Chain A
Amino acid sequence: MRKLITRLKTRNMKTEFFNLKRMQSLFRRQWALSAKSWRIAMIASVGINLAISMLILFAGSNPEAALQSLKTSLFITFLITGMVFTSLAFKELQEPTTSVSFLTLPASNFEKYLTGWLFTFPSYSIVSYILYQMSYLFISLLAFAAYGTSPALVSIPWNELGIIFMVLFIVHSVFFLGGVWFKKMAFFKTLLVLFVISMVHNFWVFIWARLLMPISDLSEKEFVISGVPISNADELSHTAIWVLKSFLILISIMCLITAYFKLKEREG
């Protein structure tokens, strides 16, 4: 009997913490509430970038420049839009007119957190990747019609795709934490914090460099990491790159964990 009660209690606790059906409802709700802003942002991002690329394509008669420009600008646009979306992941909690409804919505902290993450990272990445490829294909088809160049999709090697994914993951986790942490203007506040942190970091490194190497002009000296000069960073050892990557991923995971507990604290 006691075993049964314990099992029931454990089951109840599990259901309280995570329930797939509730999670689906939460995801559906999130989509219904933000579909319009997604649509507007995506149409604006793609539209502006396509217009610029078409201008370069036809005014400059340079299909390769147009495709190259689209590739870079669309990536940056989606990155920035993604940061803004991520900062707004918990907008309902930040607004006084919606916070009570959000807090009393029957779903656990974890489910609300996971929905926010799934919505702003995997879902956003997939949607923006599809739009990215479609936009590129559209311009390349126009280039094919006008100049006879062969139409194609953007080909990204797996290792580069991995690096892009890692960059997105790191950037996303920082802005996700900012979205939970700041009550108003989370996007700008997160940017400001990142700027301040980078300034403090640079200043710290500069001070230590001055203390360790008391030389008059640092720029004339060659700094070395693992026996490789910094100016020749391509030759940094695999271990050094691995350590750097691991450190950044660790920081991102810590941001995500902190975001969960901060959300829990804000909800509590």
Chain B
Amino acid sequence: MIKVNELKFGYSKKRLLFDNLNLELKKGHIYGLFGVNGAGKTTLLKHLSGVLMPKEGSVEFNGQSFKERPVSLLQDLYVIPETFSLPPVTVQKFFDIHAPFYPKMDANKFAHCLKEFDLDASMKLNQISYGQQKKFIVAFSLATNASLILMDEPTNGLDIPSKSQFRKLLAQQIHDDSCIVISTHQVRDLASLIDYVIVLDNGTIRFAHEMDEISKKLHFTVKEKTDETVLYSEEQFGGIKAICSKETEKDLETDFELLFNAVISDYEKINNAFKN
């Protein structure tokens, strides 16, 4: 679906943020793009949406380059930036004036998403809270039925019930022809949704694996002390939280935060576990 080939990009001429970055995103997945602040997540999303153009290399969406930003590609793409401002119009008006740009727009789906998020079509977008604005824009993006939806920190500003509404809705609405990329540093918020993990650090992809693969190769557990099977551990009350290379007696669910910290501290060690 989307292919990044040998991408080179930097905001200054002297320092490149991305130096020969390669990535392939496929249909039917929800990708979690994790990274610390300044790792290049937003910049990568801007490249995936054609907002920024590579200095060298290419970004292709369904085999077509983003150069010249073709309308046919934009019709099949929706981006939710981290910070945005909505116009002083009602929810319904916004839908009416933007829906014609998206050929696959589904008004029923939009109404359903609004209902799930407790939003009303008569609400004025500049008079609702930031969290409600975020929910609205998520509802609109899902209703476009775009093949590629890019979300930058979508759970920022959402309260706890809204976060679970968001997860529920996203899980309901994803279909086989679509691909969703969620960039976040709040790894715990979206743990149950994501089926592919990408960790970006300093403009380089340090880790990119499917959840199935992760659960087969890495074992998350709690131990009293470290041993030779432990790839990474963090101390906690009464023992350690650990990622092990071998199955343990008390295998727990994937701990995204632990995995993220493990990749950031020693990505080679974690990646080696996938080679066997």
The 8 A CB mask of A48-76 against B (1 = contact, 0 = none) is 00000000000000000000000000000
Contact assessment for A36 and B88 in the assembled complex, using a CB-CB cutoff below 8 Å: yes
Instruction: List, in ascending order, chain A residues with CB within 8 A of B53's CB.
Output: 268
Query: Which of A22, A95, A99, A268 contacts B69 (CB under 8 A)?
Result: A268
The verdict on A107 contacting B101 (CB below 8 Å), with A22-B71, A100-B51 known, is yes
Count of A-B residue pairs with CB < 8 Å: 69
Instruction: List, in ascending order, chain A residues with CB within 8 A of B50's CB.
Output: 103-104
For residue B70, CB closer than 8 A to chain A, the reply is yes
Contact assessment for A104 and B83 in the assembled complex, using a CB-CB cutoff below 8 Å: no
Contact assessment for A98 and B84 in the assembled complex, using a CB-CB cutoff below 8 Å: yes
- Which residues of B from 38 to 54 have beta carbons under 8 Å from A? 46, 49-51, 53
For residue B117, CB closer than 8 A to chain A, the reply is no
A181 CA / B233 CA spacing, docked (Å): 53
Which partner residue on chain A sits nearest B94 by CB separation? Answer: A32
Contact assessment for A100 and B81 in the assembled complex, using a CB-CB cutoff below 8 Å: yes
The minimal Cβ–Cβ distance linking A219 to chain B, given in whole angstroms, is 52
Pairs across A and B, CB under 8 Å, 5 listed: A22-B101, A32-B89, A101-B84, A103-B69, A106-B102
For residue B160, CB closer than 8 A to chain A, the reply is no
A97 CA / B84 CA spacing, docked (Å): 4
Contact assessment for A28 and B84 in the assembled complex, using a CB-CB cutoff below 8 Å: no
A33 CA / B87 CA spacing, docked (Å): 6
Contact assessment for B85 and A105 in the assembled complex, using a CB-CB cutoff below 8 Å: no
For residue A96, CB closer than 8 A to chain B, the reply is yes
The 8 A CB mask of B75-94 against A (1 = contact, 0 = none) is 10111010111011100010
Which size class do B's interface residues fall under?
20 to 34
Contact assessment for B101 and A106 in the assembled complex, using a CB-CB cutoff below 8 Å: yes
Q: How many residues of A contact B (CB 8 A)?
A: 28
Interface centre among B49, B68, B69, B89 (most CB of A within 10 A): B69
For residue B161, CB closer than 8 A to chain A, the reply is no
In addition to A33-B87, A107-B101, 4 A-B residue pairs with Cβ atoms within 8 Å of each other are A32-B97, A33-B89, A95-B85, A267-B69
Instruction: List, in ascending order, chain A residues with CB within 8 A of B78's CB.
Output: 104
Which partner residue on chain A sits nearest B74 by CB separation? Answer: A106
Contact assessment for A29 and B97 in the assembled complex, using a CB-CB cutoff below 8 Å: yes
Query: Which of B74, B77, B101 contacts A25 (CB under 8 A)?
Result: B101
Q: Which label, helix, strand, loop or mixed, suits the secondary structure of the A interface?
A: helix
Name B's A-contacting residues (CB within 8 A).
46, 49-51, 53, 67-72, 74-75, 77-79, 81, 83-85, 87-89, 93, 97-98, 100-102
Contact assessment for A105 and B101 in the assembled complex, using a CB-CB cutoff below 8 Å: yes
Query: Which of B46, B71, B88 contacts A106 (CB under 8 A)?
Result: B71
Instruction: List, in ascending order, chain A residues with CB within 8 A of B67's CB.
Output: 268
The verdict on A103 contacting B51 (CB below 8 Å), with A29-B98, A33-B89 known, is yes
Which partner residue on chain A sits nearest B144 by CB separation? Answer: A106
A15 CA / B68 CA spacing, docked (Å): 14
A21 CA / B67 CA spacing, docked (Å): 24
The minimal Cβ–Cβ distance linking A105 to chain B, given in whole angstroms, is 6
The verdict on A108 contacting B71 (CB below 8 Å), with A25-B100, A100-B81, A101-B84 known, is yes
Instruction: List, in ascending order, chain A residues with CB within 8 A of B83's CB.
Output: 96-97
Instruction: List, in ascending order, chain B residues with CB within 8 A of A108's CB.
Output: 71
The minimal Cβ–Cβ distance linking B76 to chain A, given in whole angstroms, is 9
- Listed from nearest, the 6 A-B pairs whose CB atoms lie closest are A106-B74, A25-B100, A97-B85, A106-B75, A100-B81, A29-B97
Instruction: List, in ascending order, chain B residues with CB within 8 A of A12's CB.
Output: 72
Instruction: List, in ascending order, chain B residues with CB within 8 A of A107's CB.
Output: 71, 74, 101
Contact assessment for B85 and A98 in the assembled complex, using a CB-CB cutoff below 8 Å: yes
Instruction: List, in ascending order, chain A residues with CB within 8 A of B70's CB.
Output: 16
The minimal Cβ–Cβ distance linking A196 to chain B, given in whole angstroms, is 29
Interface centre among A19, A22, A268 (most CB of B within 10 A): A268
Instruction: List, in ascending order, chain B residues with CB within 8 A of A36's CB.
Output: 88
The verdict on A32 contacting B93 (CB below 8 Å), with A103-B51, A104-B74 known, is yes
A91 CA / B51 CA spacing, docked (Å): 17
Instruction: List, in ascending order, chain A residues with CB within 8 A of B79's CB.
Output: 100-101, 104
